[in-house]
Amino acid sequence: MPLSTKHLLGIKEISEQDIWQILETAVRFKEVINRPIKKVPSLRDITIANVFFENSTRTRISFELAERRLSADVVNFTASSSSVAKGETLLDTINNILAMKVDMIVMRHPSPGAPHFLAKYVNASIINAGDGTHEHPTQALLDVYSIQEYFGRIQGIKVVIVGDIMHSRVALSNIFALKKLGAEVAVCGPLSLIPRYISTLGVHVFEHVQQALLWCDVANVLRIQLERQKVKAFPSLREYALYYGINKELLSSLNKRILILHPGPINRGIELTSDVADSEHSIILQQVENGVAIRMAVLYLLAENIQIGNFQ
């Protein structure tokens, strides 16, 4: 069954049924990417442009690998080396790319809502690869996939998101995805980094990291996004690491096993020490592997709608 949507703009907009369809399809693609021949011909007739207006390592490479493993034609666009630097608008840039018979756009953009704007004005399928501080839907999908893979379920699993909630698109997309799939969700961090609206999303708030870790089954640990902070939210990174950093000693004090996730990039020694990031508690690199399978599933299911002429 294809997805009930033409675009993947955010987790807020997609149904629980569509999320499960993506997760189940990703199981099949994870098997494909672990074969000696990691390629299938499913998207031979589809052309995809990866349009990145912001830096990325994992998401950009993961999408490109997913596209190539589905046999799509792929073009990559980086804003800094494009005519955007000469003053071209977002809509003109995208319309020029689409005039070259591109079917799908994967876009990362610093402005919240940029993919939603595009989806209104262009005819291609748009996939949000991160829009400012708003949403990062494929990151949330790969996070819930990784939790489901580890525990065999999402329902009732207690997940705390630790760190800079205020500036994090990963936090918001994770909250939407986890709540839709029946997890219990909490956030933890300095109150200056937790938005006031957070309780309206049905999540608990922990101010103390040890209490949060004692409560949870999974801690999804976020980077402090200094580049997005207009005013200083805490005195120093050293102080943040002292009060909110997760180290081996803290984990050992819990007397229970919790799972550590991190979307990357990690700032080692700030939100996580290396002896936690590289420990048996951490599934950070499994998340990255699962990201390719999730993105293959998203691309494959959205392309089905193009191939059968839905949403024309």
Catalytically active residues are: 58-59, 86, 108, 136
Q: Does 58 bind ligand CP (CB under 6 A)?
A: yes
- In the complex with ligand CP, which residue's Cβ is closer, 245 or 263? 263
The answer to the question of residue 57 lying near ligand CP (CB under 6 A) is yes
Which of these ranges, 16-24, 157-165, 187-195, 260-268, lies near ligand CP under the rule CB under 6 A?
A: 260-268
Q: Does 56 bind ligand CP (CB under 6 A)?
A: yes
H or E element, residue 75: strand 73-78
Taking the least distance from each CB to ligand CP, the nearer of 147 and 306 is 147
CA separation for the pair 278, 292 (Å, rounded): 21
CA dist 132 → 82, 128, 182, 197, 261 (Å): 20, 10, 26, 18, 21
Considering the complex, state which of residue 56 and residue 78 has its C-beta at the smaller distance from ligand CP: 56
Residue 110 engages ligand CP in binding (rule: CB under 6 A): no
Q: Using CB under 6 A, which of the segments 8-16, 209-217, 258-266, 275-283 binds ligand CP? A: 258-266
Q: How many amino acids of this chain bind ligand CP (CB under 6 A)?
A: 10
Cβ–Cβ < 8 Å for 69, 43 = no
Binding mask 78-97 for ligand CP (x = CB under 6 A): --------------------
Question: In the complex with ligand CP, which residue's Cβ is closer, 132 or 214?
Answer: 132
> CB-wise, 136 or 180, nearer to ligand CP?
136
What is the rounded distance in angstroms from the CA atom of residue 184 to the CA atom of residue 108?
Answer: 29
Q: Which of 5, 21, 25, 59 binds ligand CP (CB under 6 A)?
A: 59
Minimum distance from CB of 265 to ligand CP (Å)? 6
Applying CB under 6 A, which of residues 2, 190, 245, 263 lies at the interface with ligand CP? 263
H-type alpha helices, the chain: 16-33, 58-69, 90-98, 114-121, 137-151, 169-180, 209-215, 237-244, 248-253, 274-277, 284-307
Q: Is 146 in the site for ligand CP (CB under 6 A)?
A: no
Residues 292-310 as b or e (16 or more Cβ within 10 Å = b): bbbbbbbbbbbbbbbeeee
Q: Strand locations in 189-287, DSSP E?
A: 204-206, 218-221, 259-261
DSSP 103-152: -EEEEEESSTTHHHHHHHH-SSEEEEEEETTTB-HHHHHHHHHHHHHHHS
Residue with the closest Cβ to ligand CP?
Answer: 59
Q: How many CB atoms lie within 10 A of CB 216?
A: 25
Joined together, the tokens standing for residue 6 give: 């033409």
> At its nearest, how many Å lie between ligand CP and the CB of residue 141?
12
- With CB under 6 A as the contact rule, the residue among 84, 264, 267, 304 that binds ligand CP is 264
Strand partners, 8: 127
Is residue 133 near ligand CP by the rule CB under 6 A? Answer: no
Nearest approach in angstroms of CB 135 to ligand CP is 11
Task: Provide the CB-side half-sphere exposure for 24 (13 A, CA).
Answer: 9
Stretch that binds ligand CP, among 37-45, 54-62, 94-102, 268-276 (CB under 6 A): 54-62
The contact set with ligand CP (CB under 6 A) reads: 56-59, 130, 136, 139, 263-265
